[in-house]
A and B are shown apart, each in its own frame.
Chain A
């Protein structure tokens, strides 16, 4: 089987050939559509795959493979361009879980176009482990690792019953980390599930906590805003509107995605029954907040239009019923490329219209926003 496939449909995919949960854009490289995939194999070899996508030729290929000692439950890349080769993973070996900072050596020097038409993945190389954040924790304790996009020296680790903020510093010889803050869930009943740094406020952190959503001021480690019951079940993903402060998007195990104005926690701005099982991820497009990507354990990936709760000005042609119907909030497109539950999703760091999704069977699919929708937003 070929690792990279070229299809006329515009869908490009890559398979890690192993069970995988984590997908992250290479945040520090805003010139290339590059994603990092991490495998989840309990009793076997694990790897990080760096894949590149060329939007002109619709080709996707693996540029780097790194060995990883154990299965990866969480994986984030450094948002600072000068440290684009840094990656943090939360990984477990069957008895305990660790969080490590690695350097993906040679990532910056990778070839951006394939030499042959059907390149094979390169041989796995080792990557140095720079440090570990904290001590080992019990299995499935770490829920997320979050790199602050505004202050790239700041990293948060979200655990079931605590959230920790770390200050990283990268010296010439070695990197070091110091815990600068620590907080527990507001009550014993609930545990943390997910989180996201606020791009508009450098010290604000949103955390999914049981069925609720809270924001934390990391200077004081105190709760700032709270949406007590954001979902019927566990909140699985939270994202901030990139253009509109205090507007967030959550997804949960109750099959829904919801848009919130965090200052009005009683009712969501918009609520959609998005999938027929858990919604594992719901992400705003990095530039156009009327576009939202969601994926779920029903193996579907959906692209949504949520213009009414976005920063986009309302359409001027509302009097034309056709136009209004065409621009109503709802699904733009359903992508059915995956056969298994989809856990990873990310927008490209380089191109506003490209995103990648990863299903449990290791299949990563790179897709475009449909041109019709793209032009509707641009024109």
Chain B
């Protein structure tokens, strides 16, 4: 309703002002012809539309409302007419009053005219009376002026001398400058020549004196130096070289102050309370000044104090330069014969800016080197940079052209990157240490399974802690810092993310560094396994939770978690493989030593399973315990004889049969056996996911293969052969069921058996029940040893 009201009013105004303004016209054009208030209203269409689309009830309703609208329009119109009539009446009253007052004014005006006429005539008579003397007065006045000048000139040498003597150098120079113009005007008169030379002499002396002061005293204070240079300039000194001299002196002075300040402040390392002010620094981004230096962290306090010491000096240079050597001063100079060497205004401005930016640069460098010291934590760095900004603020306002804040920003950017790098490299070092220390034991003993588990978990926890810590540490360097100096925080965040990625990559590399301890390799594999499974995935999550609230989530996406997972997976696989290889080699070496050091020709008839079997079983069991840490979900298959004693393999049966039949053609037997049973066994690392059973099987196979090759170079007597028969049967009982590749293990054991009978001079296999009895007693022993 309010809308309709407003629209109506606007339409009314539009019709009053002719409806000519563009906006209204366009509005009207834009309005559709169904708008009853619009200028384009089409009554026929409206009605037909109503009839077409509305129900009778609605049409009646619309009709009623239209009637009431028409009534209200009528009353509006009446109101308007009434208001206009009122205005007309008051206008009539006003016109009547005006007419009455104008009639009174006419008399007063004519009186005023008469008065002015009288004043004119009086003034004329006074002026004619004075005109005779005026020219005389003017002449007198001129004479007096000349006399004063003369007097001034006459007194000039004395006055100059006095001024010089009293030390009012500037006054002397001012007088001389004034006099010189006069003297040059009257220079042709001989008597003035004397004055001129005399005063010139004085001034030359003064010049000498000032120059001497400039040269002799290396440490004039700023004011004095400014004065001296200013006066020397007035005395027609070479402007460019003098100005350069001024700037270089001031610069030197500032540098000396800085050096003095730096050497007077004790190094942060000696400062016991380096981190004391850290908490104070956290919230101090908002309040500007006035807080004690004590509450600031040391590096920030350093920056603040340094700024307080140096910036006023720079400001002084700036203001002195502008007041003395530039601007109005230059104009005065124009009417003198401007020295051809005089530098232009722009050049002078340029010189000043150069000096300022050079000195500020030095200041920033000092702050930068202080802030990049190792002990400066990021929050302190932030606060220090804040101080630097505050400190340089006034100078920036004075000379924005020097782009000081840009330099600060650059320095801050570099500092922040450096600090991030430092944090990240600290994290990297921590990760490397974590990897290196993973299996370092306090005592030399074999750690229990729980201990290993705890160690692995400890390493995992400390890795994630390191990452979290590094992220938390660098937080102040991202958004707060970047907001402070108007930097793009996402590039900084990207830098951090890249650093994290590289650090983790370095960790994977460190993990795969060679190690001589199988336990070490295994735990590293465990660490990498965890990283690949869960740890790496945490990093982008952490990054996201850290960065997203500040709108830097995009940078967090820069962390290629998939690639890192792959990398960790590769490291894990390499370590697993290395672990298996180490275990296999260790066991192989033991087997090899054992078999090759036995004289199989003369050994006694078998009475028990030999230590070889015990060795293999116990080594495998140890490895199983160790490696089970990595596969908590996988059930551990006990390395014990499972089920009943297995029947003799077909190879054994065949050998027993054939040897009973004939003992002569044993070579032929071998060939038959080999042809029938030899099977090519793959020793390559198993593909796919590493499992405990897979690793164990791999080691078992390699150990049996070593045993086979060692048997092939030995020569056996009857007893030796029987001993191998017993040992193989036992190994078959224990190893085959626990193995993943039972077939290969059985084939290897068969092959050992075949090779052994081949290398046997007098081959008489043992009867199966005897073998079983020996194996059974070994089983009892194994069970006992486990209990």
Interface residues of A, Cβ cutoff 8 Å to B: 18-19, 41-44, 92, 94-95, 139-140, 232-234, 253-255, 273, 276-278, 297-299, 339-341, 360-361
User: Known interface pairs A44-B667, A140-B714. Does A253 touch B759 (Cβ–Cβ under 8 Å)?
Assistant: no
| Chain A residue nearest to B675 in the complex (CB) | A361
Q: How far is A254 from B713 in the complex, measured between Cα atoms in Å? A: 18
Tell me the minimal C-beta distance from B755 to chain A in angstroms.
9
User: Known interface pairs A42-B761, A43-B761. Does A94 touch B715 (Cβ–Cβ under 8 Å)?
Assistant: yes
User: Known interface pairs A43-B666, A94-B715, A139-B601. Does A340 touch B678 (Cβ–Cβ under 8 Å)?
Assistant: yes
CB-based contact B680/A339 at 8 Å: yes
Instruction: List the A side residues contacting B581 at CB < 8 Å.
Output: 255, 273
Q: How far is A339 from B709 in the complex, measured between Cα atoms in Å? A: 14
| Chain A residue nearest to B516 in the complex (CB) | A232
Interface residues of B, Cβ cutoff 8 Å to A: 581, 585, 588-589, 592, 601, 666-667, 670, 674, 678, 680, 682-685, 702, 705-706, 709, 712-715, 758-761
Q: How far is A273 from B674 in the complex, measured between Cα atoms in Å? A: 29
Instruction: List the A side residues contacting B684 at CB < 8 Å.
Output: 276
Residue of A42, A44, A254, A341 near B759 (CB, 8 A) is A42
Q: How far is A18 from B702 in the complex, measured between Cα atoms in Å? A: 26
Can you list 23 A-B pairs with a CB-CB distance of less than 8 A? A19-B670, A42-B758, A42-B759, A42-B760, A43-B667, A95-B601, A140-B713, A140-B714, A140-B715, A233-B588, A233-B589, A253-B585, A253-B589, A253-B592, A254-B585, A273-B581, A277-B702, A277-B706, A297-B709, A299-B680, A341-B709, A341-B712, A361-B674
Q: How far is A277 from B684 in the complex, measured between Cα atoms in Å? A: 9
| Chain B residue nearest to A336 in the complex (CB) | B680
Tell me the minimal C-beta distance from A348 to chain B in angstroms.
27
Tell me the minimal C-beta distance from A18 to chain B in angstroms.
8
Q: How far is A233 from B585 in the complex, measured between Cα atoms in Å? A: 8
Tell me the minimal C-beta distance from B583 to chain A in angstroms.
12
| Chain A residue nearest to B760 in the complex (CB) | A42
Q: How far is A361 from B702 in the complex, measured between Cα atoms in Å? A: 20
**Chain A to chain B: the 4 pairs with minimum beta-carbon distance, closest first:** A276-B683, A44-B667, A94-B761, A139-B715
Instruction: List the B side residues contacting A92 at CB < 8 Å.
Output: 715
User: Known interface pairs A44-B667, A233-B585. Does A277 touch B715 (Cβ–Cβ under 8 Å)?
Assistant: no
CB-based contact B683/A298 at 8 Å: yes
CB-based contact B592/A41 at 8 Å: no
User: Known interface pairs A44-B667, A253-B592, A297-B705. Does A339 touch B715 (Cβ–Cβ under 8 Å)?
Assistant: no
Given contacts A277-B705, A297-B709, 19 further A-B contacts (CB under 8 A): A18-B667, A41-B667, A42-B715, A43-B761, A92-B715, A94-B715, A140-B713, A232-B589, A233-B592, A234-B592, A253-B588, A253-B592, A254-B585, A277-B683, A278-B709, A297-B705, A298-B683, A299-B680, A339-B680
Q: How far is A140 from B705 in the complex, measured between Cα atoms in Å? A: 20
Instruction: List the A side residues contacting B712 at CB < 8 Å.
Output: 341, 360
Instruction: List the A side residues contacting B683 at CB < 8 Å.
Output: 276-277, 298
Tell me the minimal C-beta distance from B703 to chain A in angstroms.
11
Q: How far is A41 from B712 in the complex, measured between Cα atoms in Å? A: 11
Instruction: List the B side residues contacting A255 at CB < 8 Å.
Output: 581, 585
Instruction: List the B side residues contacting A41 at CB < 8 Å.
Output: 667
Tell me the minimal C-beta distance from A84 to chain B in angstroms.
30
Instruction: List the A side residues contacting B589 at CB < 8 Å.
Output: 232-233, 253
Tell me the minimal C-beta distance from A280 to chain B in angstroms.
9
Tell me the minimal C-beta distance from A40 to chain B in angstroms.
9
Instruction: List the B side residues contacting A232 at CB < 8 Å.
Output: 585, 589
Q: How far is A357 from B581 in the complex, measured between Cα atoms in Å? A: 26
Instruction: List the B side residues contacting A19 at CB < 8 Å.
Output: 670, 758
Tell me the minimal C-beta distance from A74 to chain B in angstroms.
12
Instruction: List the B side residues contacting A140 at CB < 8 Å.
Output: 713-715
Tell me the minimal C-beta distance from B520 to chain A in angstroms.
16
Q: How far is A232 from B581 in the complex, measured between Cα atoms in Å? A: 11
Tell me the minimal C-beta distance from B159 to chain A in angstroms.
86
Tell me the minimal C-beta distance from A256 to chain B in angstroms.
10
Tell me the minimal C-beta distance from A78 to chain B in angstroms.
26
Q: Which of A41, A42, A278 has the most CB of B within 10 A?
A: A42
Q: How far is A341 from B681 in the complex, measured between Cα atoms in Å? A: 11
| Chain B residue nearest to A43 in the complex (CB) | B666
| Chain B residue nearest to A298 in the complex (CB) | B683
Q: How far is A233 from B680 in the complex, measured between Cα atoms in Å? A: 24
| Chain A residue nearest to B670 in the complex (CB) | A19
Instruction: List the A side residues contacting B588 at CB < 8 Å.
Output: 233, 253
Instruction: List the B side residues contacting A254 at CB < 8 Å.
Output: 585
Tell me the minimal C-beta distance from A163 to chain B in angstroms.
19
Q: How far is A139 from B596 in the complex, measured between Cα atoms in Å? A: 11
Tell me the minimal C-beta distance from B251 to chain A in angstroms.
51
Instruction: List the A side residues contacting B706 at CB < 8 Å.
Output: 253, 277-278
Tell me the minimal C-beta distance from A214 to chain B in angstroms.
20
| Chain B residue nearest to A139 in the complex (CB) | B715
| Chain A residue nearest to B600 in the complex (CB) | A139
Q: How far is A9 from B706 in the complex, measured between Cα atoms in Å? A: 32
Q: How far is A18 from B670 in the complex, measured between Cα atoms in Å? A: 10
| Chain A residue nearest to B596 in the complex (CB) | A140
Instruction: List the A side residues contacting B592 at CB < 8 Å.
Output: 233-234, 253
Instruction: List the A side residues contacting B678 at CB < 8 Å.
Output: 339-340, 361
Q: How far is A42 from B706 in the complex, measured between Cα atoms in Å? A: 21
Q: Which of B666, B709, B714 has the most CB of A within 10 A?
A: B709
Q: How far is A273 from B761 in the complex, measured between Cα atoms in Å? A: 37
| Chain B residue nearest to A276 in the complex (CB) | B683
Q: How far is A341 from B748 in the complex, measured between Cα atoms in Å? A: 13
| Chain B residue nearest to A280 in the complex (CB) | B709
Q: How far is A253 from B760 in the complex, measured between Cα atoms in Å? A: 25
| Chain A residue nearest to B665 in the complex (CB) | A44
Tell me the minimal C-beta distance from A63 to chain B in angstroms.
24
Q: How far is A253 from B585 in the complex, measured between Cα atoms in Å? A: 8
Instruction: List the B side residues contacting A44 at CB < 8 Å.
Output: 666-667
Q: How far is A95 from B706 in the complex, measured between Cα atoms in Å? A: 24
| Chain B residue nearest to A211 in the complex (CB) | B589
Q: How far is A276 from B584 in the complex, measured between Cα atoms in Å? A: 11
Instruction: List the B side residues contacting A277 at CB < 8 Å.
Output: 683, 702, 705-706, 709
Instruction: List the B side residues contacting A278 at CB < 8 Å.
Output: 706, 709
Instruction: List the A side residues contacting B759 at CB < 8 Å.
Output: 42
Tell me the minimal C-beta distance from A142 to chain B in angstroms.
12
Instruction: List the B side residues contacting A234 at CB < 8 Å.
Output: 592
Tell me the minimal C-beta distance from A96 to chain B in angstroms.
11
Tell me the minimal C-beta distance from B507 to chain A in angstroms.
24
| Chain B residue nearest to A340 in the complex (CB) | B678
Instruction: List the A side residues contacting B702 at CB < 8 Å.
Output: 276-277
Q: How far is A361 from B682 in the complex, measured between Cα atoms in Å? A: 18
Tell me the minimal C-beta distance from B607 to chain A in angstroms.
24
Instruction: List the B side residues contacting A42 at CB < 8 Å.
Output: 715, 758-761
Tell me the minimal C-beta distance from A369 to chain B in angstroms.
24
Tell me the minimal C-beta distance from B753 to chain A in angstroms.
16
| Chain A residue nearest to B761 in the complex (CB) | A94
Q: How far is A255 from B682 in the complex, measured between Cα atoms in Å? A: 14
Q: How far is A92 from B601 in the complex, measured between Cα atoms in Å? A: 14
| Chain B residue nearest to A341 in the complex (CB) | B709
Q: How far is A276 from B760 in the complex, measured between Cα atoms in Å? A: 28
Q: How far is A140 from B667 in the complex, measured between Cα atoms in Å? A: 20
Instruction: List the A side residues contacting B758 at CB < 8 Å.
Output: 19, 42
Q: How far is A95 from B588 in the complex, measured between Cα atoms in Å? A: 27
